[in-house]
Chain A
């Protein structure tokens, strides 16, 4: 792969993103769901709840950042790729260009990560405003980047596999929505019954939530990091394979 072969793929997404960014609808849609959760669960229900020695807000905000990074990295990539492939046909210009499938993958994933990080930063700003204990550590940043990467790769897989735009929503309802609620965003997963716990521990967002709330790397966080890396590598490899095998 030539140096920066991925850059035009990324640049295209960023130019489109810049156009959307200054429309009120984009900022609103990126923030509305986590802010509703923050108000309803954090400032409403959570005032009377203590979690692990801190307030519920201290527990909730890193989870909302993880959830928001997942939603935005995944949805924008899956949706855009699906539309570009099936409706707007703009994906054709990548396939017919003398760049490697790997470059297409990298460009799209970096674009997805950027969108995920942008939405996460918005939630983090809200976090700083409402919680005095909210801190950004090296583990937090690393986990956030890894989470954006992982779900952007999953977005590529979904965007390449789905056969209509409606299918993208179906995938989202089956995989992303349950993960948002049951992966430790809103409550600690160690309190759930054992028979559900193993399902929860299969979900990558569970491990993101464990890591993003950790102050240091220990046995459990190292295991979570390993799980996330395996998922990220798997989704990246499968996404790259789907792009390489693309044929109309």
Chain B
């Protein structure tokens, strides 16, 4: 569904995306994982025609972002990281304008459907500036799904949401996948990537440093982690292939030791030496 080949974008002297090559399959939930500034949002902006690539190729649904942008825009729905709703308009007005921009038929029904999907039907005529952050994120998701796009791009969909609302958001994303949509999510929430994504691309400093299923990535770096605080007070981790290996390693350490299963953050630390900011 999506093919990126040596995709590069530079802002001044900063190479925000540096030669990224990857493919995303139809119906897949693909996660882009990385810290702030890793290039995830820039990559999304290029795939959604908002940012022009400097070099490389970017195809969505078989359409090139440069030469077939208009047709490509009919395939996609975008939930941006930064809230780009019109705060002075009502939820209904926001969706109405969006639907008209996307030439939707049965617009009133579609707007009602989108509001109902994200649980905002009872607030449809309230001005968006009166909404909580969580409600605004839900409205953004409803708007992205309203056109029934083949590919949905969700840039940090649950950023700033409390756990309960985050789980509601995840249910909506799962539903989109069940409806056959390809979903591309950027996140720096480990749990989100592990729970939702079929495959994860790990990004750091504009490059793709690993790409696989969450479980394969964990297996690659070690499925168990021995964690302890060293003599200087630093949290230290040792990756192990099996629980037996982890227990052997733990026995050699005198301090208080924890053994746990690895997660994508461990993968990220192992690959980059950096920690993801939560």
Which of A's residues lie within 8 Å of B, judged by CB? 2, 7-9, 11-12, 15-16, 19, 88-90, 92-100, 247-248
Which of B's residues lie within 8 Å of A, judged by CB? 45, 48-52, 70-71, 73-74, 76, 78, 80, 82-89, 93, 97-98, 100-103
A16 interface neighbour in B78, B85, B89, B101, Cβ under 8 Å: B89
Chain A residues with Cβ below 8 Å from B85 are 90
Bound complex: CA A90 to CA B49 (Å): 15
- Tell me the minimal C-beta distance from A56 to chain B in angstroms: 41
In the A-B complex, the 7 residue pairs with the closest CB atoms: A8-B100, A97-B101, A89-B84, A247-B52, A98-B73, A8-B101, A12-B97
A19 interface neighbour in B45, B78, B88, B97, Cβ under 8 Å: B88
Given contacts A92-B84, A93-B84, A98-B74, contact A11 B49 (CB under 8 A): no
Query: Does the CB pair A92–B86 fall under 8 Å?
Result: no
Closest to B84 in A: A89
Query: Does the CB pair B86–A90 fall under 8 Å?
Result: yes
A100 interface neighbour in B70, B86, B93, Cβ under 8 Å: B70
Query: Does the CB pair B51–A98 fall under 8 Å?
Result: no
Bound complex: CA A235 to CA B70 (Å): 25
Query: Does the CB pair B51–A11 fall under 8 Å?
Result: no
Bound complex: CA A95 to CA B102 (Å): 11
Given contacts A15-B93, A96-B73, contact A88 B84 (CB under 8 A): yes
Chain A residues with Cβ below 8 Å from B82 are 89
Chain A residues with Cβ below 8 Å from B80 are 89, 92
Chain B residues with Cβ below 8 Å from A94 are 101
B101 interface neighbour in A19, A89, A99, A248, Cβ under 8 Å: A99
Query: Does the CB pair A96–B100 fall under 8 Å?
Result: no
Task: Jot down 30 A-B pairs with beta carbons below 8 A, ordered by A.
Answer: A2-B103, A7-B100, A11-B100, A15-B89, A19-B88, A19-B89, A89-B80, A89-B83, A89-B84, A90-B84, A92-B50, A92-B78, A92-B84, A93-B98, A93-B101, A94-B101, A95-B49, A96-B48, A96-B73, A97-B73, A97-B98, A97-B102, A98-B73, A98-B101, A98-B102, A98-B103, A99-B101, A100-B70, A247-B50, A248-B45
Bound complex: CA A247 to CA B70 (Å): 15
Chain B residues with Cβ below 8 Å from A15 are 89, 93, 97
Chain B residues with Cβ below 8 Å from A97 are 73, 98, 101-102
Chain B residues with Cβ below 8 Å from A99 are 101
Chain A residues with Cβ below 8 Å from B100 are 7-8, 11
Query: Does the CB pair B84–A95 fall under 8 Å?
Result: no
For A93, A95, A247, the residue with the greatest tally of chain B CB atoms inside 10 Å of its CB is A93
- Tell me the minimal C-beta distance from A240 to chain B in angstroms: 15
Chain B residues with Cβ below 8 Å from A11 are 97, 100
Not counting A12-B97, A19-B89, a sample of 19 additional A-B residue pairs whose C-beta atoms are within 8 angstroms of each other reads A7-B100, A8-B97, A8-B100, A12-B86, A15-B97, A16-B88, A89-B84, A90-B84, A93-B84, A93-B101, A94-B101, A96-B49, A97-B98, A97-B101, A98-B70, A98-B74, A98-B101, A98-B102, A247-B50
Chain A residues with Cβ below 8 Å from B103 are 2, 98
Closest to A4 in B: B100
